[in-house]
Amino acid sequence: AQKVTQAQTEISVVEKEDVTLDCVYETRDTTYYLFWYKQPPSGELVFLIRRNSFDEQNEISGRYSWNFQKSTSSFNFTITASQVVDSAVYFCALSEAAGGTSYGKLTFGQGTILTVHP
């Protein structure tokens, strides 16, 4: 069965600090997809990024960057120069490809509460 672990329950930083959110996953499938979602205080789930298991290239989008390392089954998320508006719960999630035991459903980690102080 697939599993996603976000070991950091809460992180607190001061504005402009860089912060990395860790995500470790388990799956038996060779083809799978990884996601990050943001849940701001208003409660909705906002999609941030999708990565497939064949693409280990790191990605940068503005102040956000993602480091996918298949060798360690990790998909970490870094926010550079954090801002108060980044305060939210961040979820890492995993989905398996066709033929996988959990095809089509997202398995979420427990989430990391990020608080950015001014």
Residues lying near another protein in the complex (CB under 8 A) are found at: 33, 35, 37, 42-47, 50, 52, 91, 93, 95-98, 100, 103-111
CB environment 68-92: b (16+ within 10 A), e (fewer): beeeebbbbbbbeebeeebbbbbbb
Q: How far is the CB of 47 from another protein (least distance, A)?
A: 6
Q: How far is the CB of 28 from another protein (least distance, A)?
A: 15
- In the complex with another protein, the residue whose CB is nearer, 15 or 55, is 55
- In the complex with another protein, the residue whose CB is nearer, 17 or 24, is 24
d(C-alpha 114, C-alpha 41), whole Å: 11
Q: How far is the CB of 59 from another protein (least distance, A)?
A: 14
d(C-alpha 59, C-alpha 24), whole Å: 17
